[in-house]
């Protein structure tokens, strides 16, 4: 989940990376989403930050968080979580 604030919007720079990973892996367990933290109470702790935050969930539970746009780290984390 790309957790973003309304003033900056979702991180557009990683869309191509996510699309590539999805095409390469082709895994039905892999889903990408965006969430505006300003309007979701459960994500309140991510408000007021000026860096992108990517939340990784498995089985409905938060399993890891990546802060900032670090394409190699995001790819590694996605593949490890699969």
pLDDT (mean) for 44-59? 87
pLDDT (mean) for 62-68? 93
pLDDT (mean) for 20-44? 87
Nearest to 58 by CA among 30, 22, 24: 30
Predicted TM-score of the model (pTM): 0.84
Residue 77 pLDDT: 93
pLDDT (mean) for 61-71? 92
Residue 66 pLDDT: 94
């Amino acid at each position: 989940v790309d957790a973003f604030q309304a003033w900056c919007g979702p991180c557009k720079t990683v869309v191509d990376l996510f699309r590539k990973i999805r095409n390469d892996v082709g895994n039905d367990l892999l889903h990408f989403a965006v969430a505006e933290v300003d309007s979701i109470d459960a994500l309140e702790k991510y408000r007021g930050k000026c860096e992108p935050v990517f939340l990784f969930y498995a089985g409905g539970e938060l399993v890891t968080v990546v802060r900032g746009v670090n394409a190699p780290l995001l790819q590694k984390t996605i593949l490890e979580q699969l």
